Amino acid sequence: MHEMSLVQGLLNQLHDLAREHNKTKVISVCMDIGPLSGVVMDSFQFGFDILSQENPLTRGARLEIVSSPVIYRCSGCDAKIEEESKPQACPACSETLLYPEGGDDIILRQVQME
């Protein structure tokens, strides 16, 4: 359940951004959570729902989560494969050893504040 500590990190960052931009209220937050990040989206949302209530800055803020796809790189022909889930084999050369590229980060994309 490391989602809680990640949400806490997010809230700290929101406080810094609010101070930097002279804002007092977070309206919405957009996160990009990669499918290989090891983060459970529901747990992240749950943690946000709880922890955001603890402070007037974030109380009632909306959390939107998007998920950028993983790109797989074929070890045989170096092709780039972009699929929803990991393909069994390279569509070009049938190689089965495919390296994931990206998809493992947890990025704060955008914040709406007033």
Partner 1 sequence: MCDSCGCDLNHGHSHDHSHDHSHDAKVIEVHQSLLAANTAMAEKNRAHIEKMGAVAINMISSPGSGKTTLLEKTIEAIGDSLRIGVIEGDIETDRDAARIRAKGVPVIQLTTGGACHLDAALVHKGLHLLEKEPGGDQLDLLVIENVGNLVCPATFDLGEHHRIVLVSVPEGPDKPAKYPKAFISSQVFIISKTDLLPYFDFPVEEARAEALQLNPKLLVMDLSATSGQGFEQWLDYLKGICRK
Contacting residues toward partner 1, per CB under 8 A: 1-2, 5-6, 9-10, 13, 17, 20-23, 27, 31, 36-39, 75, 96-100, 104-114
Identify which of 28, 43, 42 has the alpha carbon closest to the alpha carbon of residue 108.
Answer: 28
If the CB atoms of residues 19 and 82 are measured against partner 1, the closer one turns out to be 19
If the CB atoms of residues 8 and 55 are measured against partner 1, the closer one turns out to be 8
Shortest Cβ distance from residue 92 to partner 1 (Å)? 17
Q: CB within 8 A of 5, min separation 6: which ones?
A: none
Shortest Cβ distance from residue 53 to partner 1 (Å)? 19
Pairing of strands 80-82, 71-74: antiparallel
Shortest Cβ distance from residue 27 to partner 1 (Å)? 6
Strands (E), 1-114: 26-33, 62-66, 71-74, 80-82, 98-101, 106-113
Shortest Cβ distance from residue 98 to partner 1 (Å)? 8
